[in-house]
C-alpha cells in the first residue's frame, strides 16, 4: 500500500502554515495519503475552538487532508504529555501510519530526540534536579527546562532554547510517546516558517493561530485574508455572520464562575492540575471576581501559568476530575471518524479490514447502544457533553444540543 502521513493538530483555525506543513511533509515523505487527529470543541491551551469540530474538519479536508479523526476531549484539553500520548495511541492503533509530521521551532532534531529519551527514562539524577527546581516555586514546565539544562550540559547549546516553545514541547512529547509504545511510525518534524507559536501580530502570509484568533477577536478581518486559504477565509466570514463562532473562554464566563462558586473546596481540589492549596485561591477568586480575566490574574503565579489556569477552568466547566484523567491514561481510545474525502473513504475501509477489533465510530448512537466497554462509553459521553456545552457559547439561538447525534460525517 502507498505511504500514509499522520498529523496531530488543533487547526484553530486551519491556516497557511498548516497547509505548508501538510504539503511539505507529504512531498518529502512521498506519502499519498494523510490522516489528521484533531482536537474537538475545546483545546489544549484551555480555550474553546473558534469553530466546532465539524467545521474544522471541513476546512482540513478542503486543505488536502484525506481523513479526519477526533482526539477525545480528555486528551485534547490535557497536558502536553497526555495530549500527545492519546493521539499517538490512536495513530498506532490504525496500523497504517508510516510517518508522523509535526511543527517545531528548532532545526536540531537530534537534541529534541535526546530530550525525549531523558524524559522517557527519567534518570535518578534528573529527577533530583527537577525536585530542586520545583522547590523554588517554579511552574512544572520551567522547572523541567532548568533541570534538563543542568542534566544534559550540551556544549554551545541551551536546552532552554529548545523547550521554551509549545511546538517543541509537543514535538518532544510525540517523540517520547512513539518511543514509549515502540512505534514503527517515523517522526518527520517540519520547521515553522516566519511566525512563532504565540506571535500575536500578523506580518506576512504565514501567521500563528494565536495571531489569527486575536485578529478575529478585534475584527481585523482584512489581516486574516492573507494568512488563511481563500475557502477558509470565506467560511470564517460566513460563520461570523451566522454567529456560529466562539472567540474565547469568556463565552462561558458565567457558567464557570457559577460552577466554581457552587463547588466545595474538596471538589475543586479534585480537578486535574490543582495542587498545593490552589483550590483555596480558586475558590476565593471566584467569589471576589466577576470576570475570568480578573480571576486568572489573581490566581496565576510562577508555579501556575496562564495556560494551566485556563485548562483548570475548562475542567470546571466540563466537570473533569483527576479520576477521569487517570482513566484516559490507562486506555486506548476509540477512533471517531469526523470526515473524509474519496481517498479517506478508502483509508477507513483499509483500517477496518486490518483491525477487525478496533473500535471505529461512524455513528455515535450505534456505538453508545452497542459498546460493552464502559470506559470507552464514558470517554465518548464526555465528548457529547462537551459539544452540548460548546453550543451554549454561540450568540445565536439556532444551534441546538445533541449535535454529536445529529451531525453527519463530513464528506468532501
Buried b (16+ CB within 10 A) or exposed e, 324-350: bbeebeebebbbbbbbbbeebeebbeb
Query: 82 by DSSP, 3-state: which?
Result: helix
Instruction: Quote the CA–CA distance of 159 and 310 in Å, as a whole number.
Output: 26
Count Cα neighbours of 361 within 13 Å in the Cβ-side half-sphere. 29
Centre a 10 Å sphere on the Cβ of residue 182 and count the other Cβ atoms it contains. 7
Question: Rounded to an integer, what distance in angstroms lies between the CA atom of residue 321 and that of residue 302?
Answer: 24
pLDDT tens, per residue, the chain with 412 residues: 899 999 999 999 999 999 999 999 999 999 999 999 999 999 999 999 999 999 999 999 999 999 999 999 999 999 999 999 999 999 999 999 999 999 988 778 888 999 999 999 999 999 999 999 999 888 888 888 889 888 987 766 667 777 777 888 999 999 999 999 999 999 999 988 754 545 556 767 888 899 999 999 999 999 999 999 999 999 999 999 999 999 999 999 999 999 999 999 999 999 999 998 999 999 999 999 999 999 999 998 878 888 999 999 999 999 999 999 999 999 999 999 999 999 999 999 999 999 999 999 999 999 999 999 999 999 999 999 999 999 999 988 777 789 999 999 999 9
End-to-end CA distance of the chain: 23
Q: What is the CA radius of gyration of the chain?
A: 21
Rounded to whole angstroms, how far apart are CA atoms 87 and 200?
Answer: 27
Residues contacting residue 296 through CB under 8 Å, at least 6 positions apart: 306, 309, 310, 313
Residues with Cβ within 8 Å of residue 29, at least 6 apart in sequence: 3, 5, 98, 99, 101, 186, 188
Q: What are phi and psi of 68, to 5 degrees?
A: -115, 130
Kind and range of the H or E element at 60? helix 53-62
How far is Cα 12 from Cα 46, in angstroms, rounded to an integer? 12
- pTM for this model (two decimals): 0.94
Amino acid at each position: 500500500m502507498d505511504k500514509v502521513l499522520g498529523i496531530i493538530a488543533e487547526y484553530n483555525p486551519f491556516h497557511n502554515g498548516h497547509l505548508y506543513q501538510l504539503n511539505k511533509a507529504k512531498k518529502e515523505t512521498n506519502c499519498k495519503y494523510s490522516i489528521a487527529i484533531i482536537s474537538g470543541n475545546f483545546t489544549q491551551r484551555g480555550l474553546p475552538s473558534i469553530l466546532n469540530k465539524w467545521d474544522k474538519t471541513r476546512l482540513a479536508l478542503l486543505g488536502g487532508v484525506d481523513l479526519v479523526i477526533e482526539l477525545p476531549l480528555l486528551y485534547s484539553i490535557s497536558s502536553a504529555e497526555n495530549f500527545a500520548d492519546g493521539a499517538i495511541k490512536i495513530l498506532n492503533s490504525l496500523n497504517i501510519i508510516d510517518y508522523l509530521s509535526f511543527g517545531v521551532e528548532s532545526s536540531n532534531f537530534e537534541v529534541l530526540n535526546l530530550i525525549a529519551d531523558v524524559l522517557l527514562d527519567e534518570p535518578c539524577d534528573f529527577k533530583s534536579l527537577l525536585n530542586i527546581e520545583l522547590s523554588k516555586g517554579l511552574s512544572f514546565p520551567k522547572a523541567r527546562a532548568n533541570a534538563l539544562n543542568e542534566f544534559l550540559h550540551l556544549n554551545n547549546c541551551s536546552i532552554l532554547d529548545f523547550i521554551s516553545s509549545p511546538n517543541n514541547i509537543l514535538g518532544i512529547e510525540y517523540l517520547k510517546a512513539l518511543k514509549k509504545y515502540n512505534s514503527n511510525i517515523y517522526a518527520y518534524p517540519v520547521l515553522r516558517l516566519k511566525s512563532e507559536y504565540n506571535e500575536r501580530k500578523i506580518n506576512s502570509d504565514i501567521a500563528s493561530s494565536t495571531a489569527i484568533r486575536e485578529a478575529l477577536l478585534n475584527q481585523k478581518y482584512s489581516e486574516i485574508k492573507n494568512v488563511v486559504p481563500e475557502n477558509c477565509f470565506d467560511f470564517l466570514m460566513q460563520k461570523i455572520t451566522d454567529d456560529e463562532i466562539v472567540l474565547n473562554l469568556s463565552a462561558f464566563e458565567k457558567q464557570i464562575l457559577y460552577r466554581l462558586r457552587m463547588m466545595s473546596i474538596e471538589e475543586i481540589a479534585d480537578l486535574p492540575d490543582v495542587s498545593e492549596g490552589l483550590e483555596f485561591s480558586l475558590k476565593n477568586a471566584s467569589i471576589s471576581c466577576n470576570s475570568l480575566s480578573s480571576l486568572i490574574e489573581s490566581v496565576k503565579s510562577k508555579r501556575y501559568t496562564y495556560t494551566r489556569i485556563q485548562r483548570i477552568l475548562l475542567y470546571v466547566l466540563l466537570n473533569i476530575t483527576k479520576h477521569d484523567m487517570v482513566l484516559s491514561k490507562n486506555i486506548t481510545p476509540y477512533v471517531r471518524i469526523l470526515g473524509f474525502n474519496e481517498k479517506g473513504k478508502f483509508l477507513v475501509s483499509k483500517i477496518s479490514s486490518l483491525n477487525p477489533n478496533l473500535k471505529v465510530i461512524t455513528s455515535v448512537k450505534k456505538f453508545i447502544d452497542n459498546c460493552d466497554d464502559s470506559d470507552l462509553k464514558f470517554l465518548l459521553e464526555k465528548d457529547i457533553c462537551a459539544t452540548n456545552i460548546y453550543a451554549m457559547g454561540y450568540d445565536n439561538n439556532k444551534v441546538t444540543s445533541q449535535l454529536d447525534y445529529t451531525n453527519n460525517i463530513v464528506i468532501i
